[in-house]
Structures are given as structure tokens and as C-alpha cells.
Amino acid sequence: MALIEAQGLEKRYPGTDVKAVAGIGFQVERGEAFGFLGPNGAGKSSTMRMLACVSRPSGGTLRILDRDPVSHGRELRARLGVVPQDDALDLQLTVRENLIVYGLYFGLSLTHMRAKSAELLEFAQLAEKAGERVEHLSGGMRRRLTIARSLVNDPDILLLDEPTTGLDPQARHILWDRLFRLKSAGVTLILTTHYMDEAEQLCDRLVIMDKGLIADEGTPRELIERHVTREVLELRFPPGEQEAAGEKLGGDVEVLPDRLLCYADDGDAVLGRVTELGLHPLTALVRRATLEDVFLRLTGRSLTD
């Protein structure tokens, strides 16, 4: 039995006509890392809030741990861990107190939380910061604390809304490492991101969301194989020459405002043809296809714009 089952799930906010989530279906199995990849406004957070049992679906069906999130919200919330997009830490408490007090909200005892908080601080590499006010933490530390906080109740499912947005590369890698550990410990992870490398690194399976809908679903490899070639040749030309070069080259080419993408199983062969045709790109780069290319293929837009 899947831990989460959604069918035709919709969210429309009061006072608006637009469906932030316009009918999506997916299943999440125990122990898997499941991702929602999509640009700003795709409806990722709206979906996550419904999964967290704080936002009532406006249509479709949703079952979490075989229960209804509306009628059994409170009971379910006790078994979920949530890392919201904004940390929303308790700014008036210290790092350790944030963990302890949060545990109390879950009905855990003070004695239990004293021990548990030490363990979580260790896990989040925040032991030295235990007595500091949250205000004095860096963005990466806050994020780690928010993740540690979401683990107070040893959740069955951990929901992470953009866990690494706004962090520097080093902080992201530390976080990824922590999430890998949780995953190996058997925690089911559901995360949203608009970084394709993050989705490729962390997710066993993912859906690509755009405008409230799911564009496709699969493992990162499957999606890449289904929609794009093995390699991509990126070419940059002086402004104005892009279109012409694209037409001359022909084949499977995507013309973007700032560059050309040529999809091919052998990128170097295409690069050879570019030279034969007498084209002189400013830069040329052969790379492996990524989820970003998949997204571009599915929606005609790049993820980051």
C-alpha cells in the first residue's frame, strides 16, 4: 500500500479563480524519495501544504497513511515531519529550546526531548550553537535546524519544501548529506525543488510540475531517456546570429535567447558538423542531458526563468 495516494487533487484559494493545483495524481511508496520539480508558482508549496494536512484540498482525493487528511489531520500531523519553505523558527528561543519546545507540541515529554534534542543537534551539526538565539544563525544553519526540528517525532514521512533554496553550494552539500542519511535510515522523503541537480541527486522518482499540473513522472534517468537525447551540445553565438545558425544546423535544435541546444547521442559529432558548415560559435560545450533539458522539452521554458 502506498503511503500517499492522490487522484485529481486540486487546490483553489478562496477569492481566486486560478487553480494553484489543477488536478494531479501520484503515489509515494514507503522508503522512497519523491520529488516535485517545477518553476516558481507551479503549485509545489500548495501541494505540500495539502500533504502536511494544513490546507484543505478543493477537489480530488488524497489519502495519507491510509487516512483522510481533513478528518484525521491532527492524528496525521503527529506522524509527519514538515520543513516549510520559510523556516518559521521560534526567534525568541535558542537553538536547543526550539527543538525541545517543538517536541512538546507533539506531546513528547520534557525528559524525552532533552535527550532527543542533543541527538538532533548532533545530526544537524549544530551542537556548538545549542545555546545561541536563532537570529544569530546563518541561512544554512537555520535550514538544518528546521530539518532537525521536523524530526522530533521520528516522522513516517518527511516533507521538505525547497530544502536548499538560497543556500551556498557548500551548505547545500551538507544538507544533501543529511537527507541521504535519513533516506538510508528508511525515512520517506517528499521534497520540492527547482534545482534539477538536487532532484537528480536526491529523488528516486519525481514529477515535473508546471502551472498546477503534472507534465510527466518517472525516475530522473527515465525522464531524460524519454524526452531528450543522451548528450547536449550548447553553442553560443554573437547576439543576432543565433536564429540563423540554428536553421543552418538543422536537426534537433532548441533556440534559446542566450544559446542553442543541440540534442544528440553523440555531441562531438554534431560539433564536427558545426565546424564543417563554417559556423563559428563563441563557445561550444558538450554535456550530458539533465532534467532541466527535460523540463525545457516539456514546457518550452527553462526552469529558472
Partner 1 sequence: MSRLPAAGGAHLVVLRNVWVHKGGTPWTMALFSVYEPILYLLAMGVGVGALVGRVPGVDVPYAAFIAPALLATAMMNSALEETTQTVYGKLAFDRYYHSLLVTPVTIRGMVAGELLWAVLRALVTGVGFLVVIVAFGLARSPLVILAVPAGLLTAFAFGAAGLAAAAYARGWHSFQYVQLVMLPMFLFATTFYPVTVYTGWVRVLVEALPLYHAIELSRGLALGEVGPGLLLNAAYLLAFGGVMLAVAQARWTTLMAR
CA atoms of 277 and 169, how far apart (whole Å): 39
Q: Which stretch binds Mg ion (CB under 5 A): 5-13, 17-25, 37-45, 169-177?
A: 37-45
**Helices 139-150 and 110-123 meet at what angle, rounded to 10?**
140
Helices (H) and strands (E) in the chain, counts: 11, 13
In eight-state DSSP terms, residue 94 is B
CA atoms of 304 and 25, how far apart (whole Å): 25
* Least Cβ distance, residue 180 to Mg ion (angstroms): 23
Residues 77-136 binding ligand ATP (CB under 6 A) are 85
45 binds Mg ion (CB under 5 A): yes
Binding mask 25-64 vs ligand ATP (x if CB under 6 A, - otherwise)? -------------x-xxxxxxx------------------
Q: What is the DSSP string of 43-80?
A: SHHHHHHHHTTSS--SEEEEEETTB-TTTTHHHHHTTE
* Least Cβ distance, residue 77 to ligand ATP (angstroms): 19
CA atoms of 130 and 1, how far apart (whole Å): 40
Closest to ligand ATP by CB, 54 vs 108, is: 54
CA atoms of 42 and 301, how far apart (whole Å): 13
Residue 52's alpha-carbon distances to 7, 19, 64, 76, 272, in angstroms, are 16, 19, 9, 8, 52
- The amino acid present at 51, given as its one-letter code, is L
- The secondary structure of 107-147, three-state, reads CCCHHHHHHHHHHHHHHCCCHHHCCCEHHHCCHHHHHHHHH
Q: Which stretch binds partner 1 (CB under 8 A): 34-42, 54-62, 197-205, 287-295?
A: 54-62
Q: Which of 86, 177, 265, 266 binds partner 1 (CB under 8 A)?
A: 86
Binding mask 78-97 vs Mg ion (x if CB under 5 A, - otherwise)? -------x------------
* Least Cβ distance, residue 195 to Mg ion (angstroms): 13
88 interface partner picked from ligand ATP, partner 1, Mg ion, none, CB below 5 to 8 A per type: partner 1
Q: Which of 102, 195, 263, 295 binds partner 1 (CB under 8 A)?
A: 102
Binding residues for partner 1 (CB under 8 A): 13-14, 52-56, 74-75, 77-78, 80, 82, 84, 86, 88-93, 97, 101-102, 104-108, 112, 153
* Residues lying near ligand ATP in the complex (CB under 6 A): 13, 16, 20, 38, 40-46, 85, 194
